[in-house]
């Protein structure tokens, strides 16, 4: 978050105190005009009483400010852990794909080796059978009988040539099958080694993914605990402000009754305007098409987030852990929304940012796309996109396990905005 957002809780508390004090003064002045006040002047709290009440409220406010800083850091840690988990998921998917390819290669090599071994067994059986017949016939030449029974010298020569060719072919087949078996065995060994290496990488990626997911869960628990503490401090601050408002109101009523004119209270100090950002490069755009895109996305509020799901044609099934989830991821939703308005934008959030004319923070209009990155000076680290609705509200598909929603704008990690035109 930027520094203005990190101190938003403190500034909001101060503005609340100022508004409450102002309302109390107006109410006290109104009471001061009634006959009862005119008849009996109200008690005027001392400067010490008001100073003590103000100090008490300031102390609680300071504690809220301190806790807000811790909560901001915790929320930043949650976002960082979430991005780490997304990156680890991508890495796991890549190694899983490599493992599947290696498994297919190993299966094919094993099948080829088995086929070569079977063919070699057949060839060897034929050789053994030839040797056995030669032994049983009392000759190492199984075709001798065929030669002896030849009718004439021409038939003898013809039969001898055929028998010699058959013997040579048997020997050639045996040699060829032996070579094929060796090659298939070598291919099977290489494929098995590749599969083993792919399995190791897949296991390492799975471990990294589990570690990243555990870190994200832990960060969310810490942030939730800080939010509970902040809620209690906010209750304490409200009580302290109520006491201060009552004292200020009593003083205002007393001064009114005594016809003492007091200057109007000064506005809260140290409230700086939000930075405006760089100049816009986008034109005015098309408000009607932007509204069509917003309405198209609004129609899917409550639809599940599906990692890698959805696109121009509507929702779809996700990938990896979201295989059985039918919905949109962040950039799938924005691409679909603007497709309904007749405007084509890329599918990926970082590509959407790169393709769109840029819009400064103080020129944001409903329908603009707002982007977040791990490093706000590096568009290559963009990992999320949402639709700006105006009034610091956005429409987004947040993350796995969540649903499309309208929520408050988050300025932490905000890198910029773009305006689809067409």
- 11 — pLDDT class (breaks 50, 70, 90): very low
Pairwise CA distance, residues 237 & 67, whole Å: 13
What pLDDT is attached to residue 117?
Answer: 81
356 has pLDDT over 70? yes
The pLDDT mean for the chain works out to 79
What pLDDT is attached to residue 33?
Answer: 40
- Average pLDDT estimate for 117-139: 70
What pLDDT is attached to residue 341?
Answer: 96
What does DSSP say about strands 414-418 and 393-396: parallel, antiparallel, or unpaired? Answer: unpaired
What pLDDT is attached to residue 150?
Answer: 65
What pLDDT is attached to residue 97?
Answer: 82
**Residue closest to 328 by CA, chosen among 395, 380, 379:** 395
134 has pLDDT over 60? no
3-state secondary structure of 272: coil
- Average pLDDT estimate for 123-138: 66
124 neighbors 174 (Cβ within 8 angstroms): yes
The segment with the largest mean pLDDT, out of 268-277, 282-291, 364-373, is 364-373
- 360 — pLDDT class (breaks 50, 70, 90): very high
24 has pLDDT over 70? no
Q: Say which DSSP state 163 is in.
A: H
Single pTM value for the model: 0.39
Question: pLDDT by residue (tens digit) across 334-350?
Answer: 999 999 999 999 999 99
Pairwise CA distance, residues 151 & 357, whole Å: 98
What residues act catalytically? 330, 384, 396
What pLDDT is attached to residue 281?
Answer: 72
Cβ neighbours, 10 Å, residue 124: 13
410 or 194, greater pLDDT: 410
162 has pLDDT over 50? yes
**Residue closest to 38 by CA, chosen among 259, 262, 257:** 257
Per-residue tokens: 45: 């709290």
- 7 — pLDDT class (breaks 50, 70, 90): very low
244 has pLDDT over 70? yes
- 204 — pLDDT class (breaks 50, 70, 90): confident
Q: Say which DSSP state 320 is in.
A: G
269 has pLDDT over 80? no
Question: pLDDT by residue (tens digit) across 33-74?
Answer: 444 434 455 677 887 888 888 888 888 888 888 888 888 888
31 has pLDDT over 50? no
Q: What is the DSSP string of 101-118?
A: HHHHHHHHHHHHHHHHHH
Pairwise CA distance, residues 16 & 184, whole Å: 79
What pLDDT is attached to residue 215?
Answer: 87
Pairwise CA distance, residues 369 & 290, whole Å: 10
């Amino acid at each position: 978050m930027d520094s203005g957002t990190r101190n938003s809780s403190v500034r909001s508390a101060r503005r609340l105190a100022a508004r409450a004090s102002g309302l109390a003064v107006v109410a006290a002045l109104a009471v001061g005009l009634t006959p009862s006040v005119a008849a009996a002047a109200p008690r005027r709290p001392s400067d010490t009483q008001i100073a003590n009440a103000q100090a008490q409220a300031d102390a609680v406010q300071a504690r809220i400010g301190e806790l807000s800083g811790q909560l901001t850091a915790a929320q930043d840690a949650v976002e960082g852990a979430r991005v780490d988990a997304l990156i680890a998921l991508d890495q796991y998917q890549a190694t899983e794909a490599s493992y599947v390819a290696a498994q297919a290669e190993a299966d094919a090599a094993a099948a080829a080796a088995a086929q070569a071994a079977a063919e070699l067994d057949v060839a060897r059986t034929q050789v053994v059978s030839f040797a056995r017949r030669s032994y049983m016939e009392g000759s190492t030449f199984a075709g001798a009988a065929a030669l002896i029974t030849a009718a004439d010298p021409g038939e003898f020569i013809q039969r001898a040539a055929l028998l010699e060719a058959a013997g040579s072919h048997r020997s050639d087949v045996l040699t060829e099958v032996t070579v094929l078996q060796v090659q298939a065995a070598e291919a099977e060994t290489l494929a098995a080694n590749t599969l083993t290496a792919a399995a190791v990488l897949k296991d390492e990626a799975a471990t990294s993914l589990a570690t990243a997911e555990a870190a994200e869960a832990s960060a969310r628990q810490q942030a939730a605990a800080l939010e509970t503490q902040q809620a209690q401090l906010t209750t304490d601050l409200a009580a302290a402000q109520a006491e201060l408002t009552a004292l200020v109101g009593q003083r205002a009523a007393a001064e009114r009754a005594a016809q003492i004119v007091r200057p109007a209270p000064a506005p809260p100090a140290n409230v700086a305007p939000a930075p405006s950002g760089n100049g816009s490069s986008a034109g005015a755009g098309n408000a009607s098409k932007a509204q069509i895109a917003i309405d198209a996305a609004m129609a899917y509020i409550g639809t599940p987030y599906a990692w890698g799901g959805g696109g121009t044609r509507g929702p779809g099934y996700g990938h990896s852990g979201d295989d059985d989830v039918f919905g949109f991821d962040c950039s799938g939703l924005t691409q679909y929304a603007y497709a309904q308005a007749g405007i084509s934008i890329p599918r990926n959030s970082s590509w959407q940012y790169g393709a769109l004319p840029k819009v400064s923070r103080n020129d944001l209009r409903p329908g603009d796309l707002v982007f977040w990155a791990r490093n706000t000076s590096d568009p290559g680290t963009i990992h999320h996109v949402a639709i700006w609705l105006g009034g610091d509200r956005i429409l987004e598909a947040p993350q796995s396990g969540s649903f499309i929603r309208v929520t408050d704008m988050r300025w932490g990690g905000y890198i910029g905005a773009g305006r689809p035109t067409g």
